[in-house]
């Protein structure tokens, strides 16, 4: 039985259609699902209604973010975000998130000012609709000038957006627990996963990277989940399982194992 706070992200089955995702989510009995906006096609309202009828709430929708170097594109991005905000609000969804965007190569605080100007109207619109608009700090510099939770706190305080805490992006941060507690007022979504830390095998042979199925890597997941618990965050916990094993072994078996292991660990930690 899936834990009541567990969500499965559609990133875990990136190559599947929404129909395939939906069928597995119903079979697993999950109460939450994280969506990739592009998978829903044109019938956004109809597909969200099908989820709601099946007892599945939307933990988040991943939407397109802003090109910080192209202000002329911002109005179109805001309109698209408003469309998602309206749909998520109508069906009692939890959040929408974007990545903050690639740096413009201006000093960091100036890039933050640019992002705040770009996203400001969409953030206000989301708050008026009762939907959390959030951003995900990421180690991927092609999509994010915000790379740590520490920096994300500054962004959240400047923009009033929520923060997506993704274990895969922030597990190595100094003072993980203390940083999460500082971020607590701004946490909009927690994504859980696992990675192989690896070891150096020899000169010119770096350790393997990427993500692995939940509970099959090296992260101290029980400790990290206890830290999340102690922030007071009470929303969905989204299982994000992208990685080469899902592609080679098959999405379904990896997701099933992840749901089982995560549900057990959530119970053990008291989430």
> Which tens digits make up the pLDDT trace of 137-153?
999 999 999 999 999 99
Burial class, 172, CB count within 10 angstroms (exposed 0-12 / middle 13-18 / buried 19+):
exposed
pLDDT of residue 243: 67
Is residue 155 situated within a structural domain?
A: yes
Question: Is residue 48 assigned to a domain?
Answer: yes
pLDDT in tens, 169-179: 999 999 999 99
Residue 107 lies in a domain: yes
pLDDT band at 249 (very low <50, low <70, confident <90, very high): confident
pLDDT interval class at 182 (50, 70, 90): very high
Please tell me which residue, 44 or 209, carries the higher pLDDT value.
Answer: 44
What digits encode the pLDDT tens for the residues 24-51? 999 999 999 999 999 999 999 999 999 9
In a domain, 126, yes or no: yes
CA dist 96 and 118 (Å) reads 16
Q: Does position 205 have pLDDT exceeding 90, yes or no? A: no
Is 139 within a domain?
yes
Residue 1 lies in a domain: no
Evaluate whether 238 touches 8 at the Cβ level (below 8 Å): yes
Distance CA 69, CA 183 (A): 28
The proportion of the chain whose per-residue pLDDT surpasses 90, expressed as a percent, equals 89
The overall average pLDDT reported for the chain is: 94
Q: How many domains does the chain have?
A: 1
Backbone φ, ψ for residue 46 (5° rounding): -65, -40
CATH number at 50 reads 3.20.20.150
Which structural domain, as residue segments, surrounds residue 105?
6-198+207-269
Torsion of CA 164, 170, 171, 177, to 10 degrees: -70
For residue 204, pLDDT beyond 70: no
Residue 238 is assigned to a structural domain of this protein:
yes
- Given a cut of 90, is residue 246 above it in pLDDT? no
94-109 confidence digits (pLDDT tens): 999 999 999 999 999 9
**pTM of the complete model:** 0.94
């Amino acid at each position: 039985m899936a834990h009541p706070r567990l969500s499965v992200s559609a990133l875990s089955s990136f190559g599947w259609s929404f129909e395939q995702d939906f069928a597995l989510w119903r079979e697993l009995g999950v109460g939450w699902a994280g969506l990739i906006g592009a998978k829903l096609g044109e019938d956004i309202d109809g597909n969200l209604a099908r989820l709601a009828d099946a007892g599945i709430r939307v933990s988040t929708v991943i939407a397109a973010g802003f090109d910080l170097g192209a202000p002329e594109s911002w109005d179109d991005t805001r309109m698209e975000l408003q469309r998602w905000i309206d749909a998520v609000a109508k069906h009692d969804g939890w959040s929408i998130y974007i990545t903050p965007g690639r740096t413009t190569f201006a000093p960091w605080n100036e890039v933050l000012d640019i992002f705040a100007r770009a996203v400001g109207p969409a953030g206000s619109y989301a708050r008026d609709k009762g939907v959390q608009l959030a951003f995900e700090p990421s180690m991927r510099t092609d999509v994010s000038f915000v790379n740590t939770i520490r920096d994300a706190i500054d962004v959240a305080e400047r923009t009033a957006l929520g923060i997506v805490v993704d274990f895969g992006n922030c597990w190595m941060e100094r003072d993980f627990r203390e940083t999460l507690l500082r971020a607590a007022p701004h946490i909009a979504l927690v994504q859980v996963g696992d990675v192989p830390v690896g070891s150096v095998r020899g000169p010119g042979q770096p350790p393997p990277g990427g993500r692995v199925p939940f509970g099959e890597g090296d992260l101290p997941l029980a400790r990290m989940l206890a830290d999340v618990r102690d922030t007071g965050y009470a929303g969905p916990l989204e299982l994000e399982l992208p990685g080469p094993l899902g592609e080679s072994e098959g999405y379904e078996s990896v997701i099933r194992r992840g749901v089982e292991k995560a549900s057990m660990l959530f119970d053990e930690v008291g989430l």
